[in-house]
Structure 1
């Protein structure tokens, strides 16, 4: 067998082996690595590269070494799940770097972090002043978790005692000019509704790059033609405006009529409609 054929066979064999080992390790291997997983990954890659290009060696010895390292990594992950003390040794513990706006220099030295590196991590969290930080923790994976002081945190609807509509999953119903039937059904819509919405927006299906239905049931699209101005759908705002007009009309009718019974009826229904508007206003804004 020629050298080229040797390299091809070895490469295919190790691609399959490495894929199987990575699959065994789970999605965490693709996201965040512990110290041990980092070292193990480098070693496995080095073994694979050496065996693929080292034609004089036995490739099955390399496969065995990769399987051993991969199996040992998997065993460490299993033990880490079952034992916190073992996990603390392998992955490390979280370290507090800022507390009550004060940088803890001893912990910084322990983790070998400079103030420039800390400021860089803070800026990634949109924090530019350490005094604004209530609590900052360096996670075992190297990420910095930051809790701002209460007065520096953004105001939420809950702080203002406002009712807001719950958010649901956004469904992509059109992709590359093709209708995706399963997401369309999951959104509670059908093809007829989609055709009407596209007609209202003045676009054809084959000109839609992506179309999505949000939690309010509204269709938003992006077209292939970037110069095309697509109007934003606003049925909720139109409905709210219509309800407010109806409520104002009831109050106006009550003022214009001379009948006491009619005046009471108009005022009563105007109050009911106003209460209904107050309840659903958060969903329609």
Structure 2
């Protein structure tokens, strides 16, 4: 590099190497930032070391730092591509899962291979909210050190499927307002539009620019948090109101049937009352 004061050279080196390191990390993917295997961990340490050494050593050539970083980029990048196509290479680079408990039986030999003691296993189980090893049907240690646990059937929480209840499909909630600005793509994901959003906000007597965060679910209910924390916003009540309205209509039909002396009208009211009650029975679990 040209002759600069050392403090300025450190700043320039830091900025250049920071950009290179950031670019390499982005290309290698977010996996580098979370569940790293041994190979990825070593790569991260070495890249950080290269940046540190060449940042504070004015006598080193920055081009050497970039060359070294590119080597440590291309090798992991190539390893990732090969691992996607080769199971054996993937097992060598990323490691394999190890079964610790199978069919309710602790696999002592596998514990020893991984250097785990009984106390280590129990600690891992407690981290998964399991305090009795006998409650576990299957447990596997993942290459990143995470222990995944399958409790025995009698120890698992009941689900709608266990109870024979069919639930309507549900998409993830979408953030439709952030920092007072509408996110139109999120609205479209729920098949909603700006007119619907403005109508819902009008019900709450709130304007868009006063909303810090607004989220909508698949049922079309809007949840908002305002910039002004002293203002309380009521929770969505469309579903309870719909159920209450349907029950009131059904009760009114029963009353009309009792009040009228016309047999044809009485039959009509009773028939529609039964139909409405059948509809209420089918959807009540979704509206409660």
Alpha-carbon offset, residue 147 of structure 1: 0.7
How far apart, CA to CA, are the structure 2 residues paired with 1:185 and 1:86?
A: 43
What are the within-5 Å matches in structure 2 for residues 35-46 of structure 1? 35-46=38-49
**SS where residue 168 of structure 2 aligns?**
coil
Q: Secondary structure at the match of 2:140?
A: strand
What is residue 283 of structure 2 aligned with on the other side? 280
Q: Does 1:87 find its partner at 2:109?
A: no
Give TM-score, length-normalised by structure 2: 0.89
Partner of 1:33: 36
Question: How many Å apart are 1:256 and its aligned residue?
Answer: 4.5
Q: Does 1:114 align with 2:117?
A: yes
CA contact (8 A) 1:165 1:282 kept: no
Say whether 1:57 aligns with 2:60: yes
Under a length normalisation based on structure 1, what TM-score does the superposition of the two structures give?
A: 0.89
Q: Deviations over 1:205-232 (max 9, x none)?
A: 4432211111111111112333332211
Pick from 165, 177, 180 the counterpart of residue 183 of structure 2. Answer: 180
1:146 Cα offset (Å): 0.9
- Distance in 2, matches of 1:23 and 1:179, equals 29
Aligned equivalent of 1:215: 218
Partner residue of 2:100? 97
Unaligned runs of 5+ in 1: none
Q: Distance in 2 between matches of 1:100 and 1:161?
A: 26
- Aligned partners of 1:86 and 1:185: how far apart in 2? 43
User: 1:193 Cα deviation (Å)?
Assistant: 3.6
Displacement, 1:166? 2.0
Q: Distance in 2 between matches of 1:212 and 1:5?
A: 47
Deviates more, 1:19-28 or 1:175-184: 175-184
Give the stretch that moved more between structures: 136-145 or 270-279.
Answer: 270-279
Verify the 8 A CA contact 1:163 1:282 in the aligned structure 2.
no
Aligned to 1:245: 248
Pick one of 228, 233, 258 that aligns with 1:230. Answer: 233
Q: Give, in whole Å, the separation in 2 of the partners of 1:131 and 1:42.
A: 40
Shift of 1:80: 0.8
**In structure 2, C-alpha distance between the alignment counterparts of 1:210 and 1:88, rounded to whole Å:** 44
The structural deviation recorded for 1:190 is 4.0
Provide the C-alpha distance between the structure 1 equivalents of 2:197 and 2:92, rounded to a whole number of angstroms: 56
Out of 76, 80, 83, the residue aligned to residue 79 of structure 2 is 76
1:121 CA displacement: 2.5
The alpha carbon displacement at 1:148 in A equals 1.0
SS at 1:210 equivalent: strand
SS in 1 for 2:89: helix
Residue 284 of structure 1, CA deviation: 2.1
Q: Deviations over 1:91-116 (max 9, x none)?
A: 11111112233332222221112333
Which residue matches 1:129? Answer: 132
CA distance in 2 between counterparts of 1:163 and 1:237 reads: 20
Q: CA deviation at 1:83?
A: 0.6
Tell me the equivalent position of 1:67. Answer: 70
